[in-house]
Amino acid sequence: MAKARTQTIGAVRRTFSPWTDPSATPLIRFENVVKSFGAFTAVNHVSLDIYEREFFALLGPSGCGKTTLMRMLAGFEEPTEGRITLAGQDLTGVPPYERPVNMMFQSYALFPHMSVADNIAFGPKQAGMGKGEIAARVEEMLALVKLESFAKRKPHQLSGGQRQRVALARAVANRPKVLLLDEPLGALDKKLREETQFELMDLQQSLGMTFLIVTHDQEEAMTVADRIAVMNHGVLVQVDPPATIYEQPATKYVADFIGDVNIIACKVEGCFGSDLRLATSLTPHPLQVTHSGDQKPGDEVWLAIRPEKMRISLDAPDAAAGNCFEGEIWDIGYLGDLSVYHVELPCGTRIKVSQPNLSRVVERPITWEDKVYVTFTPHAGVVLSR
């Protein structure tokens, strides 16, 4: 049963990409939205389309404007400039209690003086549903979050994970067009958080709702979202599916914010079709990199390479192996499944290389102060001009 459901979800997620379809109409449109608080601009000319049934993540450090953007959609803040539309309806001036959008709060904001059932029934009650209908809806929601036996409890009699579920059930009880989740898993411990991420994805699929999640946790955004918008200083830096964000970051900022990366300052020496030759102070030999950009010789660029995209070896590679840095192991981070080697190059720069620990016993382990060779292919890195 569970297996069958996962498969259909897999099929849906595999083909789901309305943002690539020019004929698709977005459900939510942020049109040139600005929000200022006095002299401080929290959101700066953001235009963003979110499609129906999408699981969309707003990702960024605290203070980047992601929460403000979400609160404007919920109606708790009004844009200073621009407008937001939902299913074609202009939301300007529509108070929060008249928007078909519900929010799950970071603090959960469960009403402490009401039982779990009353908390969940709150939305349907305000919507004017009949008594029997409300009871049925509460039952359904409790079943959805597997808290049937907790209906009579007060919020303070629940664990953090249970409260998170109640908050979720309460937020979807009115069947909103869009569910907003403000750091929904921030208060949970790591293991529970990972479980809940997958439950959220299943829930989103089975409810067929559009989810908009705000988070500062890049792993969480990568796991749950169809698309991620990376924000910084009130501006959208990049909006793309997780794999694109990770493998094709648009800027140094995105490359650095998502995962680990080595950013190497280079100068373009020459272009040969799709190949670039880059000069860097880290090695006397120029680097060969595949790139389809419009760089010209003489341009200042940055090469961003993920630690896992490079190989580390104690033996000198043959000349054909491609790009190579020589250095000395300066530090090792052993994480169990993989080890992260910090390699100090002769010029003093340190780069990070990670390698999976595939076997339990290694004949010649790489250790501190070993002389090593770091190699990578022309496809391993991304050339960034910003």
Partner 1 sequence: MNRGPTWFNVTSLVLGFAFLYIPILLLIIYSFNGSRLVTIWGGFSTEWYVALLHDEQLLDAVWVTLRVAALSSLVATVLGTLAAIALTRYGRFTGRSVFSGMTYAPLVMPEVITGLSLLLLFVAIGFERGFWTIMLAHTTFTMCFVAVVVQSRLVTFDRSLEEAALDLGCSPAKTFFIITLPLILPAVISGFMLAFTLSMDDLVIASFTTGPGATTLPMRIYSQVRMGVTPEINAICTVMIGFIAIIVLIASIATKHQETVRRREEQAAAQ
Which H or E element spans position 141?
Answer: helix 131-144
Closest by Cα among 202, 141, 188 to 166: 141
Please tell me the distance from the alpha carbon of residue 80 to that of residue 45, in angstroms, as a whole number.
Answer: 10
Interface with partner 1, residue 37, by CB under 8 A: no
Measured from the Cβ of residue 271, the count of other Cβ atoms closer than 10 Å reads: 16
- Nearest distance from C-beta of residue 189 to partner 1, angstroms: 10
Q: By CB under 8 A, what part of segment 115-174 binds partner 1? A: 122-123, 126-127, 155-160, 163, 170, 174
Interface with partner 1, residue 61, by CB under 8 A: no
- Nearest distance from C-beta of residue 126 to partner 1, angstroms: 4
Interface with partner 1, residue 106, by CB under 8 A: yes
Please tell me the distance from the alpha carbon of residue 305 to that of residue 158, in angstroms, as a whole number.
Answer: 45
DSSP characters for 156-189? GGS-HHHHHHHHHHHHHTT--SEEEEESTTTTS-
Interface with partner 1, residue 109, by CB under 8 A: yes
Please tell me the distance from the alpha carbon of residue 286 to that of residue 277, in angstroms, as a whole number.
Answer: 6
Interface with partner 1, residue 74, by CB under 8 A: yes
- Nearest distance from C-beta of residue 160 to partner 1, angstroms: 5
Please tell me the distance from the alpha carbon of residue 100 to that of residue 174, in angstroms, as a whole number.
Answer: 9
Question: Is the CB of residue 187 less than 8 Å from the CB of residue 199?
Answer: no
- Nearest distance from C-beta of residue 199 to partner 1, angstroms: 20
Closer to partner 1 by Cβ: residue 125 or 233: 125
Interface with partner 1, residue 89, by CB under 8 A: no
Closer to partner 1 by Cβ: residue 114 or 338: 114
Interface with partner 1, residue 8, by CB under 8 A: no
Interface with partner 1, residue 93, by CB under 8 A: no
- Nearest distance from C-beta of residue 43 to partner 1, angstroms: 18
Question: Is the CB of residue 137 less than 8 Å from the CB of residue 129?
Answer: yes
Residue ranges that bind partner 1, judged by CB under 8 A: 74-76, 95-98, 101-103, 105-107, 109-113, 122-123, 126-127, 155-160, 163, 170, 174, 187
